[in-house]
Structure 1
Amino acid sequence: MAEYDLLICTRLMGETPEEMLASMEKAKEEGADIAELKLHSMHSINDVEKVIKHRLLPLIISFSLTLSGGMCEADERKKCFEVLGLAVELGAEFVDVELEVAAEFMSGVQLEKHCNSKTIVSYHVKDRSSSKEKLGDLVAHMQSTRADIIKLVIDSFVITDVAKLFHLLSQCQVPLIAFAAGDRGLISQLLCRKFGGFLVYGSIGGNSIPGLPTLCSLRGVYKLEYMNAFTQIYGVISNPVGHSKGPILHNPAFRHIGYNGIYVPMCVDDIKKFFEVYSSPDFAGFSVGIPHKEAALGCCDEVDPLAKSIGAVNTIVRRPSDGKLIGYNTDCEAAITAIEDAMRARTGPNEGESHTSPLAGKLFVLVGAGGAGRALAFGAKSRGARIVIFNGNHERAKSLASAVSGEARPYKEINSFCPEKRMILANATSVGMQPNSDKTPVSKEVLGAYDLVFDSVYTPRNTRLLREAEEAGAIAVSGVEMFIRQAIAQFNLFTGGLADAEFMRNIVLNQF
């Protein structure tokens, strides 16, 4: 493995040689080290030859076998061997042959005469019930083909499926390319280097593929070339998780202070199972997002008193001394101080000098009773606000209202609720989050009754709710401000207080 540096690869798009070469040019511009050209029975030999001879990047040439329909099986195998044999003759850097036909191909091609080409033997495991022992036996069988490199792909239905691949990567005695297909398999690309992998796939910009990071993010955000066996793993546990900007913030912040860590998105369905499977010290800390903030509380060995009182955790750190999971809530102070600072900025220096919170005595109207809602409710209560909660599930609203000595009302009444002027409105739901940024939790017509409107959604930065609040004359406070503050607090928990707050704030304001 030591002879292989990290390679970032992308699959070329297009059917014609011209389209493939244009795709290769774009891949090179975006930082790919190598490209994979996946061919099939409809591609002509002349097309293959043209692309190989005019390549701008080293190539992996593979042939997709269907072994049914269209061509008869014997003809398809013949075409496969013809294409891959030509690739070897033309000096393609790698040829990828499927395990089912590997022995026949290896016996028919004089690879020793073409030392510039290395052989990859690949297999796609469709049975997700395969144990790591069974996969280990499969890898041993693949090694017996005399391949230079082996490639194993599995389908990932849940993120815990990927753990089997990390085990294989750390144990395999020959170079291994291993990844999980599908959006739950993204960490198989982002973390494989830590466990011994040497090739990572990324997608060309504008061509989103589930489970693949973009080439630009691999080069600009994650910078996997700095990863090694000692890198500490951090990430955001959420579902969905694609909206998270955490990686854009935490990864540069780690590098800025010289901390050997990586922060990745983790699409998690079952948080309890996730922590059971990923229990090693390598998985050192987590941000917790929708919908897991309340369930995360039960996964922790110890919980900070504030988080326990709120009933929701948004940060979990694995204590190095004993491996126990410690839960915290940085949402509460982040959101409430963002609201308070915006109110003080409006009132001017004289009122702003008071030690009393500007929320004291205010009617605080909260939409949402999940993890973020609980943090806002408890924070508002601690500042002396009067709290009214609207939520789609009225029983959840009643439960939270009882905990903060507030009032719960049916969500359908939100647009007719106006007992007084100069109220505070806080949205703690995901309504208005991309890709549904045309939605809003509260009608524009009633926003004039509010002195300030806060939206916990930060993608997009300026939501429809905030735009309409400003038009109604209210102070608009973006979820970006809450995100910055809670992320700085999280980073301090991750690193033992090493956050450069100004650096992190500038990243968010410049890139979000």
Structure 2
Amino acid sequence: MERYVIIGLRGTGKSTIGRLLADRIAVPFHDTDALIQGRTGLRIPEIFSRYGEEEFRRIEREVIASLPAGPAVIATGGGAVMDQRNRLLLRQGAHIILLTADQATLAARTRRSGRPPLTHLSAEEEIHHLAERRGPIYRGCADLCISTTGENPDRIVDRILSCRGMTERNMPLAGQYSLDISRADLRDMPLISAITGNPVSHSRSPDLYNRLFSEYGIPGRYIFLPASSAEDAIRAMRALGAKGLSVTIPFKETMVSCIDEPDEDVTAIGALNTVVGCGDRLYGHNTDWIGVREPLRDLVGSDALVVGAGGAAAAAVYALLSLDMRVQIANRTPERGEVLAERFGCTAIPFQEIKAPDLIINATSVGMKESDGSPVPSSLLKPGVTVFDLVYTPPMTPLLREASAAGCRIIKGTEMFIYQATAQFRLLTGIDPDPSKIREVLG
């Protein structure tokens, strides 16, 4: 595949490196900003000042949609990939290369270029703002991330070609892991992601994500990655050259210390379920709380009970507080429940003291086996109560069956899975999947 798309903030060297790469492999070079200027007869700042950003983005979409198919190198404007329509078009049949640079380097290059600012912020503040806003999408889109700080453009082109536009893989080390992918497929697959935990064989993520990869034309493979610890999972990720990990029990909390940059949700919750690699850095995210929040938006301000005190429980409490709920926590080990309650300013309470809440969430793993029974006392299951079990395999747990029989409104764990997976897929690929497609795959 000799089609490369170069993305990144302005000042990262997209045009310079893109032109060198195109010359090296003797394919056409397309710079979307140059094409926009050629189409309008105006410089980019003039388009913004005369017609505004909305009109510029409309022209940009037309230019990207008109790019010819086949071998080429394409350098995009910094904001081009913030539009999902552009991401889907640029993704087709191409390796996406993200160029980065440190803030000081970007500020210096921007000043030398004489380009006007995009915001009313100082150069350094503008770069920080844009990096924060665009960073997750950039990283999600990228097959390969390369820093241009202090690097010669020719050496960067050498690296892109030597890697074939993909993250490097340590084949001997990767071969030490039990993987559901052959060494040949591993070597040639542009994008690899995985589900890690212990156990992971119950997860439906590989089936779902591989179908979504096919649906959206993403040249990737999503695999099972069983590991003995969070640290072991990260070693395997680096050996595989994997783009990212979905993280399940029991690594959601211990994985936080293995990454470089947790986002604000991870910092608040103390657990993650997503790791995205970019260059030498690992970024941590938590989409579990989104999966809890979205099915419960009609219960804003309710009284809620969370059963459990681990990473899933922390995500649930975080989600409920974002909906202005009054939250109580009950846990089999009271001390752990008290620690979680103190962290979020909630109340830890023994089961025997709980009065009927409006909402009950099971955030434990109880229910994954039929023999587990229900983690919630039957006395709390009454008509009018909503019961949300975060366990999604099996879809109908002992708790949900008992709650349904008692006249409760029930929400299956598959609903949490759908919404957390929608957000997670965006972090791993840069693509916003249609939640209905996920629901369809889950049946």
Contact 2:189 2:221 in 1 (8 A): no
- Give the corresponding residue for 1:265: 224
Specify the SS of the correspondent of 1:366.
Answer: strand
Q: Deviations over 1:332-375 (max 9, x none)?
A: 021121123xxx3xxxxxxxxxxxxx231x22111111111000
How far, CA to CA, are the matches of 2:316 and 2:209 in structure 1?
24
Q: Which amino acid in 2 is paired with 1:232?
A: L
Specify the SS of the correspondent of 2:283.
Answer: strand
Contact 1:424 1:450 in 2 (8 A): no
Q: Alignment partner for residue 334 of structure 1, among 291, 297, 304?
A: 291
- Give the corresponding residue for 1:388: 328
The equivalences for 1:88-103 within 5 A come to none
- Give the corresponding residue for 1:400: 340
Q: Deviations over 1:310-340 (max 9, x none)?
A: 1111111112xx2311111111021121123
Q: Which amino acid in 2 is paired with 1:243?
A: H
Quickly say closer, same or farther: Cα 1:373–1:387, change in 2 above 3 A: same
- Give the corresponding residue for 1:456: 390
How far, CA to CA, are the matches of 1:277 and 1:375 in structure 2?
26
Contact 1:431 1:439 in 2 (8 A): yes
Quickly say closer, same or farther: Cα 1:191–1:373, change in 2 above 3 A: farther
How far, CA to CA, are the matches of 2:239 and 2:280 in structure 1?
8
Contact 1:363 1:423 in 2 (8 A): yes
Structure 2 unaligned regions, length at least 5: 1-168
Shift in Å, 1:504: 2.2
The equivalences for 1:487-498 within 5 A come to 487-498=421-432
Shift in Å, 1:498: 4.4
Matched, 1:167 2:172: yes
Shift in Å, 1:259: 0.6
Shift in Å, 1:261: 1.1
- Give the corresponding residue for 1:245: 204
- Give the corresponding residue for 1:285: 244
Contact 1:369 1:400 in 2 (8 A): yes
Q: Which amino acid in 2 is paired with 1:472?
A: A
Quickly say closer, same or farther: Cα 1:393–1:443, change in 2 above 3 A: closer
Number of equivalences:
275
How far, CA to CA, are the matches of 2:277 and 2:318 in structure 1?
26
Q: Deviations over 1:21-42 (max 9, x none)?
A: xxxxxxxxxxxxxxxxxxxxxx
Specify the SS of the correspondent of 1:432.
Answer: coil
How far, CA to CA, are the matches of 1:294 and 1:474 in structure 2?
32
Contact 1:389 1:408 in 2 (8 A): yes
- Give the corresponding residue for 1:309: 268
Shift in Å, 1:190: 2.0
Specify the SS of the correspondent of 1:278.
Answer: helix
Specify the SS of the correspondent of 1:243.
Answer: coil
Quickly say closer, same or farther: Cα 1:293–1:263, change in 2 above 3 A: same
Contact 1:484 1:505 in 2 (8 A): yes
Matched, 1:231 2:193: no
Shift in Å, 1:453: 0.5
Bigger CA drift: 444-453 or 329-338? Answer: 444-453
The equivalences for 1:6-25 within 5 A come to none
Quickly say closer, same or farther: Cα 1:236–1:371, change in 2 above 3 A: same
- Give the corresponding residue for 1:295: 254
Specify the SS of the correspondent of 2:381.
Answer: helix
Q: Which amino acid in 1 is paired with 2:172?
A: H
The equivalences for 1:111-130 within 5 A come to none
Bigger CA drift: 439-448 or 328-337? Answer: 439-448
Q: Alignment partner for residue 190 of structure 1, among 140, 156, 181?
A: 181
How far, CA to CA, are the matches of 1:370 and 1:451 in structure 2?
23
Q: Which amino acid in 1 is paired with 2:217?
A: G
Q: Deviations over 1:123-172 (max 9, x none)?
A: xxxxxxxxxxxxxxxxxxxxxxxxxxxxxxxxxxxxxxxx98x3189xxx
Q: Choose between structure 1 and 2 for higher RCO, CA contacts under 8 A separated by at least 6 residues.
A: 2
- Give the corresponding residue for 1:432: 367
Contact 1:232 1:283 in 2 (8 A): yes
Contact 1:194 1:231 in 2 (8 A): no
Specify the SS of the correspondent of 1:283.
Answer: coil
- Give the corresponding residue for 2:214: 255
How far, CA to CA, are the matches of 1:281 and 1:167 in structure 2?
10
Shift in Å, 1:405: 1.1
Q: Which amino acid in 2 is paired with 1:330?
A: T
Quickly say closer, same or farther: Cα 1:437–1:265, change in 2 above 3 A: farther
Q: Deviations over 1:295-315 (max 9, x none)?
A: 111111111111211111111
Shift in Å, 1:457: 0.4
Shift in Å, 1:277: 4.7
Cα-Cα RMSD: 2.2
How far, CA to CA, are the matches of 1:501 and 1:239 in structure 2?
27
How far, CA to CA, are the matches of 1:168 and 1:275 in structure 2?
12
Q: Alignment partner for residue 323 of structure 1, among 277, 280, 289?
A: 280
Identical pairs, percent? 34
TM-score, normalization by structure 2: 0.58
Q: Deviations over 1:431-453 (max 9, x none)?
A: 0103x455210132331176100
Q: Which amino acid in 2 is paired with 1:363?
A: D
How far, CA to CA, are the matches of 2:305 and 2:173 in structure 1?
52
Quickly say closer, same or farther: Cα 1:315–1:369, change in 2 above 3 A: same
Shift in Å, 1:193: 3.0
Quickly say closer, same or farther: Cα 1:246–1:384, change in 2 above 3 A: same
How far, CA to CA, are the matches of 2:173 and 2:291 in structure 1?
41
How far, CA to CA, are the matches of 1:288 and 1:470 in structure 2?
30
| Structure with more helix by fraction | 2
Contact 2:304 2:357 in 1 (8 A): no
- Give the corresponding residue for 1:208: none
Q: Deviations over 1:54-81 (max 9, x none)?
A: xxxxxxxxxxxxxxxxxxxxxxxxxxxx
- Give the corresponding residue for 2:315: 375
Q: Which amino acid in 1 is paired with 2:339?
A: S
Q: Alignment partner for residue 378 of structure 2, among 437, 444, 455?
A: 444
Contact 1:284 1:318 in 2 (8 A): yes
Shift in Å, 1:495: 0.8
- Give the corresponding residue for 2:33: none
Quickly say closer, same or farther: Cα 1:382–1:190, change in 2 above 3 A: same
